[in-house]
Amino acid sequence: MSEKQYKKAAQIIVKAGMLPFPITDTLLEIVKLLYTEEEAEFIIKAFKRRVSQTLDQLKSTTELPEEEILRHVTSLAKKGALFDQPNSKGVRVYRLLPLIMVGIFEYVFMRKVEYTEKEKKMAKLFDELFDELEDIVQERYDMFLPGFKKIPPIDRTVPFHENIEGEEITIKVDQEVEAPEENVLTADNIEDIINKFDDITVAHCFCRQHQDLLGNSCEVTDMRENCFTFGKSARFVAEQGFGRKISKEEALEILQKSEEAGLVHKAYHPHGKIDRDETSVCNCCKDCCGTFNLWKQGILPMINATNFLSDIDQEICIGCGTCVEECPVDAIELNENNKAERNPEWCIGCGICAHFCPESAISLIEGARKVFVPPPKLRD
């Protein structure tokens, strides 16, 4: 297969996602490592114009026999490069997945990874690709910024409701917290989300496993198998062997351990539309989480939907700095009076600060909002 053909396949895969990956030697090496020549040729034929198609549409698009099409889509789905599940009318749809968010990167590292040279090479190549994307965004920062502001929320924070002593975190209603124009009711209790679904799978955290392969041990937790998918996504994950089906009871046990470790509950919705049911919930640490790190690295903004904002009682606060250390987005610092003070524009309302505060000086203010923090400008 020619280099030109691989580039064509890579361009189609990149366009299936939201990140503007450059078609570099690194990206091409990833594509060659993850896709066979036959699969790349099939992607060019099948998904050049539309990334989602039914079997009948694929027959018309590719002019290939049904048996050959099914062989390709089965192979791609097994790799996490293609999502195949029935739509609301019961018709199976085959959707090409991007490299990342949510794509082959997540699915590759979602399985319990083997620490072979191939997996280590793959992890390193993705890390190099992120570095290349950082260079592009930082060099053209002002050009990217207007486009970033149009991106819908990447995830939604579901807060902790208990502090370290097992007591309920105080939640207030504040009229000054502006609600969005559309009043959308969402589940803000992690148990309510779990109880919604009959199909639940748990898989390994792809972010931590990626960092493990790079030799970067997580300093927050030893937990790995604690990322959840629901409904149609759960059925796909279980069918393709990326995770295992579990009961609601086991899911709640894992979530309890995740909270004890101080991990952030991040819910994901189709296309960032929070009025639609959750597809997954990740339990994220500030060390390894991809969305946190892509923001800190200057690649993507932090775009988050939340219904809460932390509120620190300055009279109760003793300035111990626990919340400063635990906040996953660096939204809290000690002020000149040695009191904790949070930045309302950065706070994602996760409740971790309230959970760990030894003086119960932090509560949550209820009020739906969108958090948008541009990536830091790291170069002049």
Tell me what percent of the residues of the chain surpass a pLDDT of 90: 83
Nearest CA among 34, 31, 61, 67 for reference residue 48: 61
Residues 86 and 214 in one domain: no
Asked whether residue 119 falls in the same domain as residue 52, the answer is yes
**Looking at 107, 139, 171, which one is the last position of a domain?**
139
The pTM of the whole model exceeds 0.85: yes
380 lies in a domain?
no
Section 68-97 average pLDDT: 96
Q: How many domains does the chain have?
A: 2
Are 134 and 149 part of one and the same domain?
no
Q: Are strands 340-342 and 171-173 parallel, antiparallel or unpaired?
A: unpaired
Regarding whether 102 and 155 lie in a shared domain, the answer is no
Considering 84, 114, 139, which residue would you say is the last residue of a domain?
A: 139
> Do residues 119 and 192 share a domain?
no
93, 204: one domain? no
The answer as to whether 378 is a domain residue is no
Rounded to an integer, what distance in angstroms lies between the CA atom of residue 38 and that of residue 46? 12
The CA angle 284-308-273, to the nearest 5 degrees, is 70
Residue 164 CA neighbour count, 13 Å, CB half = 15
Q: If pLDDT is split at 50, 70 and 90, which confidence band does 115 have?
A: confident
State whether 186 and 235 are in the same domain: yes
103 in the same domain as 150 = no
- 227 plus 315 within the same structural domain: yes
Report pLDDT digits (tens) over 162-196: 888 888 999 887 645 454 444 444 678 899 999 99
From 104, 139, 174, the end of a domain falls on 139
pLDDT score of 185: 46
Q: Is the pLDDT of residue 19 over 80?
A: no
The string of pLDDT tens digits covering residues 39-69 is 999 999 999 999 999 999 999 999 999 999 9
- Return the CATH number at 72: 1.10.10.10
Q: In whole angstroms, give the CA distance from residue 120 to residue 101.
A: 20
Q: Same domain for 71 and 40?
A: yes
Q: Which domain holds residue 71?
A: 3-139
